[in-house]
């Protein structure tokens, strides 16, 4: 009996030993899931366990409209995105976004190795795809603030709102140097001057967090769960195409490319930017999506960028003309050039099949695939996706918060540029009095939130009207700003009889461009949208007027300037219209300076500061300044007190003199 018992204990001990050994082996097997391991070791461990199918799946990014849990699991998809306007449902809440994204993520986690996917979205001026988000001014306005610290705070606020919807990755910032305002994406550029664009890369530290002092140059960095992975775009020269034609050819020598279009990428890499997006455009006839010398040779090897390179939307298709006409060649050329993740976004199985065939037949070496997947995994580990793959509701109240709207309002007032203040040597019109009898507010853009926000807002091409998201129009802001006794009369396109028959003290005219994005915004004429010119002529020809121009770039304005008393470039200010009235009525002074040259005629274009033929209407760095009403009152009070004190002193002196001589 005792012998049997000993035997039984022996068997039990052996089982325990084998089980313990198996658990130990299991821990070793899951090294890539151990957050205590160095990121590089986790990447290597995971990569060694991956099949070719799993590796290629990581290189694919698809649109949410073709994603579901099963697709994610069976195809090992590395990333999902929302294209412009692609949302779970109309006016989706933060919770709706989180629920959708978590469903996709659960599919990824159910795959053999459980590699989490990363969800990306265009958040180019706030979380612009999402209903009720704070919409900040577009970059063209932010460049006029000359305030990198402000832009950093905008990045941090944007990151919070993006994370509020469960998204950890944004396709921002755009660091293009727009050299021709005829380009439909010019409003996505901070300036024609690369130095301003470089300064504004500070938004990356807002989005991702500040890179630690001892952090290795070129490595991607994401601080914590309140931050997002950023994307510097579009590499490289996208703002320099001939005549500003979108996706076209940038003709410039190597020195010009390095000195104008490349510097902001140096800064972005030093700030730990996680990803870089390749441009649709070409450099001297070579498509950037197929340019191995620049993508691999310069960006990865010379600049030591260690994050991953992503294509633009169907960007590899456009390597050929017409797009997609030789898809296999496009796949080969882009991957060999150094593109790591491909934004397919719909027909992903064809891409997977073509790339798999090329690797198996040694057309594309396995080393190139491993390089791409290592980079993608490095970013995923760095941003904490393996530890926190599923989003929760803890940040939902950050979406459109009052704190962020206050920040956007600050950005608006600092971005406005005062171009004219006073007609023909007359007294300045601005700041306007809040208490007066009757004010006319006119113009197509005065009460239109969609026009105010511009493209890349809710929908790809933007929207029209006031119902697609929440915010304050310029008209709404005026009503909030003036004295309760002041009468506001709004007329979108008033006739001359109406203007003449009402005794208006002054008029505020708000006109500009309609919303647009990318190629739809390319314009050879850059004209003010009708009936803008007629409104200016009708109103400003009769009564004192300030004209506010809502536009994504300088437009033709010279023919109307002489009839205008005050002229303000408001760019595309976003949802917080009160930032406009803050300076209009003198609560704050105007401080913005042009980050773009304002031309006289389109015949002068392209024309940038320091060009030999430089003859602008308003030069680069121009901007009139005003003082706030509060400062003016304090100054006048101080001056009055000074005069009083002076009179008092003189009087005392005279009395003393008379007394002494009497």
| Residue 251: both structure tokens together | 């003709």
The answer for 237, left when phi > 0, alpha when psi is -120 to 50, beta otherwise, is: left
pLDDT along the chain (662 residues), means of 10: 50 51 54 96 98 98 98 98 94 98 98 98 98 98 98 98 98 98 98 98 98 93 97 98 98 98 98 98 98 98 98 98 97 98 97 98 98 98 98 97 98 98 91 98 98 98 98 98 98 97 97 98 98 98 97 98 98 98 98 98 98 98 94 69 48 38 40
Q: Which of 585, 96, 114, 123 is nearest to 380 (CA)?
A: 114
The CA distance from 322 to 344, in Å, is 17
CATH number of 416-624: 3.40.50.1700
Which residues are within 8 A (CB) of 122 and not within 5 positions of it... i.e. 6 or more apart?
A: 82, 83, 84, 128, 129, 170, 171, 172, 456
Number of Cβ atoms within 10 Å of the Cβ of 446: 26
pLDDT at residue 28, rounded to an integer: 54
| Pairing status of strand 275-278 against strand 308-310 | parallel
- CATH architecture group of domain 34-383: Alpha-Beta Barrel (3.20)
pLDDT at residue 26, rounded to an integer: 47
| Residue 90: both structure tokens together | 């109309």
Q: Do domains 34-383 and 416-624 have the same CATH topology?
A: no
SS (H, E, C) 391-422: CCCCCHHHCCCHHHHHHHHHHHHHHCEEEEEC
Which residues are within 8 A (CB) of 426 and not within 5 positions of it... i.e. 6 or more apart?
A: 565
DSSP 3-state assignment of 590? coil
pLDDT at residue 641, rounded to an integer: 56
The CA distance from 240 to 246, in Å, is 10
Backbone angles phi, psi at 335, to 5 degrees: -70, -40
Which residue in the list 513, 518, 576, 582 is annotated as catalytic? 518
Are 448 and 621 in contact by the 8 Å Cβ rule? The answer is no
Are 39 and 386 in contact by the 8 Å Cβ rule? The answer is no
Continuous segment of H or E residues that includes residue 60:
strand 60-63
> Is 312 noted as a catalytic residue in this protein?
yes
Are 126 and 407 in contact by the 8 Å Cβ rule? The answer is no
The CA distance from 542 to 497, in Å, is 10
Domain segments of the chain as ranges: 34-383, 416-624, 626-656
Evaluate the omega torsion of the peptide bond into residue 173 and state whether it is cis, within 30 degrees of 0.
yes
Which residue in the list 312, 374, 398, 410 is annotated as catalytic? 312
DSSP 3-state assignment of 614? coil
pLDDT at residue 1, rounded to an integer: 44
Residue found under tokens 């412009």: 84
Evaluate the omega torsion of the peptide bond into residue 431 and state whether it is cis, within 30 degrees of 0.
yes
């Amino acid at each position: 009996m005792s012998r049997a018992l000993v035997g039984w204990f022996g068997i039990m001990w052996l089982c325990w030993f084998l089980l313990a050994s198996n658990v130990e082996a299991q821990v070793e097997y899951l090294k890539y899931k151990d957050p205590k391991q160095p990121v590089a070791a986790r990447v290597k461990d995971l990569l060694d366990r991956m099949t070719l199918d799993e590796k290629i799946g990581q290189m694919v990014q698809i649109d949410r409209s073709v994603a579901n849990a099963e697709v994610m699991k069976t195809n090992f998809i590395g990333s999902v995105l929302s294209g412009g306007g692609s949302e779970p449902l109309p006016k989706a809440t933060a919770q709706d976004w989180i629920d959708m994204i978590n469903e996709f993520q659960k599919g990824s986690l159910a795959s053999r190795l459980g590699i989490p996917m990363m969800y990306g979205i265009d958040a180019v001026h706030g979380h612009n795809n999402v209903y009720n988000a704070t919409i900040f001014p577009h970059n063209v306005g932010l460049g006029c603030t000359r305030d990198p610290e402000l832009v950093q705070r905008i990045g941090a606020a944007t990151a919070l709102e993006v994370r509020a919807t469960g998204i950890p990755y944004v396709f921002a910032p755009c660091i293009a140097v727009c050299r021709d305002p005829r380009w439909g994406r010019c409003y996505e550029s901070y300036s024609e001057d690369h130095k301003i664009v470089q300064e504004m890369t500070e938004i990356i530290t807002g989005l991702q967090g500040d890179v630690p002092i001892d952090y290795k140059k070129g490595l991607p960095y994401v601080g914590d769960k309140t931050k997002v992975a950023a994307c510097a775009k579009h590499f490289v020269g996208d703002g320099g195409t001939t005549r500003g034609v979108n996706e076209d050819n940038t003709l410039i020598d190597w020195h010009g490319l390095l000195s104008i279009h490349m510097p902001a990428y140096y800064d972005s890499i030093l700030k730990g930017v996680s990803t870089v997006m390749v441009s649709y455009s070409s450099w001297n006839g070579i498509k950037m999506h197929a340019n191995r010398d620049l993508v691999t040779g310069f960006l990865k090897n010379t600049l030591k960028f260690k994050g991953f390179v992503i294509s633009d939307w169907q960007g590899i298709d456009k390597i050929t003309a017409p797009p997609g006409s030789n898809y296999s060649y496009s796949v080969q050329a882009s991957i060999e050039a150094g593109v790591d993740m491909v934004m397919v976004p719909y027909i992903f199985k064809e891409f997977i099949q073509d790339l798999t065939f090329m690797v198996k037949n040694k057309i594309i070496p396995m080393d190139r695939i491993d390089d791409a997947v290592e980079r993608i995994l490095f970013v995923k580990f760095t941003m904490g996706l393996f530890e926190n793959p599923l989003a929760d509701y803890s940040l939902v109240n950050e979406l459109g918060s009052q704190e962020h709207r206050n920040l956007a309002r600050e950005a608006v007032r600092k971005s406005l540029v005062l171009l004219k203040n006073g007609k023909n040597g007359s007294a300045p019109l601005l700041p306007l009095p809040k208490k007066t009898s009757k004010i006319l507010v006119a113009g197509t853009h005065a009460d239109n939130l969609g026009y105010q926000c511009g493209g890349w807002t809710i929908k790809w091409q933007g929207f029209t009207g006031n119902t697609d998201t929440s915010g304050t129009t310029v008209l709404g802001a005026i009503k909030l700003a003036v004295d309760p006794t002041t009468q506001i009369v709004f007329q979108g396109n008033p006739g001359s009889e109406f203007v003449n028959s009402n005794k208006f003290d002054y008029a505020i005219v708000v006109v500009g461009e309609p919303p647009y994005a990318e190629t739809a915004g390319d314009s050879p004429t850059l004209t003010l949208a009708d009936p803008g010119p007629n409104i200016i002529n009708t109103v400003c020809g009769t009564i004192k007027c300030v004209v506010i121009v809502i536009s994504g770039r300088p437009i033709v304005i010279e023919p109307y300037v002489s009839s205008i008393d005050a002229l303000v470039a408001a760019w595309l200010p976003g949802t917080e219209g009160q930032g406009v009235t803050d300076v209009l009525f003198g609560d704050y002074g105007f401080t913005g300076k042009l980050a773009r040259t304002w031309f006289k005629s389109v015949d002068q274009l392209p024309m940038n500061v320091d060009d030999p033929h430089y003859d602008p209407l308003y030069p680069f760095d121009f901007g009139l300044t005003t003082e706030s009403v509060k400062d003016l009152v304090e100054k006048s009070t101080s001056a009055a007190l000074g005069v009083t004190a002076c009179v008092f002193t003189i009087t005392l002196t005279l009395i003393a003199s008379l007394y002494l001589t009497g």
